[in-house]
């Protein structure tokens, strides 16, 4: 299906999403179509690789947790009981996610909230990552959400407490981030923004 035939004002489901067999990347947020930007800038990719590497090295000996990078579909149903493709209205492709519940993983990606999501913003995606996805991830139950700003070389970390995100910290320079979902992982910003 060509993007010209898709109605940006229509509400779609994951079942619809599966029928779009072209090379365009899309996300659904509460059923509404969001086209993804072309390939990210090189700096975005370098930061993504560094973060995935740090997480992957740490998780190598952890049997339950896995790290994934985009493109990787994360389906966020309104409730844990909803599994039918035609009842899921939110499908996102976070830059990075960590899933520690293997029952949420299947051949198509993740169904349910990952434990950690990291979005690396760009001028064209910042509003969506800072407002739209922030709300979606908070409501879905993502425990920890990082917003990485490559241009300013900082990271804002939000941790879900009592159902809402609290700003855990704003990190820059030579600071280290203690990853809340793990007891023994700190990531140095100097390693990320080399």
Which of 138-155 are b and which e, b meaning 16 or more Cβ less than 10 Å from the residue's Cβ?
bbbebbbbbbbbbeebbb
pLDDT surpassing 90 at residue 158: yes
Is there a contact between 97 and 114 (Cβ–Cβ < 8 Å)? Answer: yes
Question: What digits encode the pLDDT tens for the residues 25-44?
Answer: 888 899 988 877 777 788 99
pLDDT surpassing 70 at residue 128: yes
Model confidence band, residue 126 (pLDDT cutoffs 50, 70, 90): confident
Give me the domains of the chain, ranges plus CATH numbers. Answer: 3-192 (3.90.1570.10)
């Amino acid at each position: 299906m060509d993007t010209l035939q898709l109605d940006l004002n229509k509400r779609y489901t994951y079942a619809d999403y599966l029928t779009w067999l072209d090379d365009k990347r899309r996300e659904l947020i509460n059923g509404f179509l969001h086209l993804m930007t072309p390939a990210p800038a090189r700096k975005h990719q370098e930061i993504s690789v560094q973060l995935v590497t740090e997480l992957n090295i740490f998780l190598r000996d952890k049997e339950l947790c896995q790290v994934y990078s985009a493109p990787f579909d994360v389906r966020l149903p309104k409730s844990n009981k909803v599994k039918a493709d035609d009842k899921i209205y939110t499908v996102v492709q976070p830059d990075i996610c960590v899933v520690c519940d293997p029952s949420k993983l299947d051949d198509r990606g993740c169904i349910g909230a990952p434990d950690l999501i990291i979005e690396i913003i760009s001028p064209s995606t910042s509003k969506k990552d800072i407002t739209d996805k922030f709300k979606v991830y908070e409501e879905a139950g993502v425990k920890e959400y990082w917003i990485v700003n490559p241009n300013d070389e900082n990271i804002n970390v939000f941790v879900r407490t009592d159902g809402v995100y609290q700003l855990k910290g704003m990190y820059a320079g030579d600071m280290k981030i203690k990853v809340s979902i793990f007891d023994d992982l700190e990531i140095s910003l100097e390693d990320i923004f080399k």
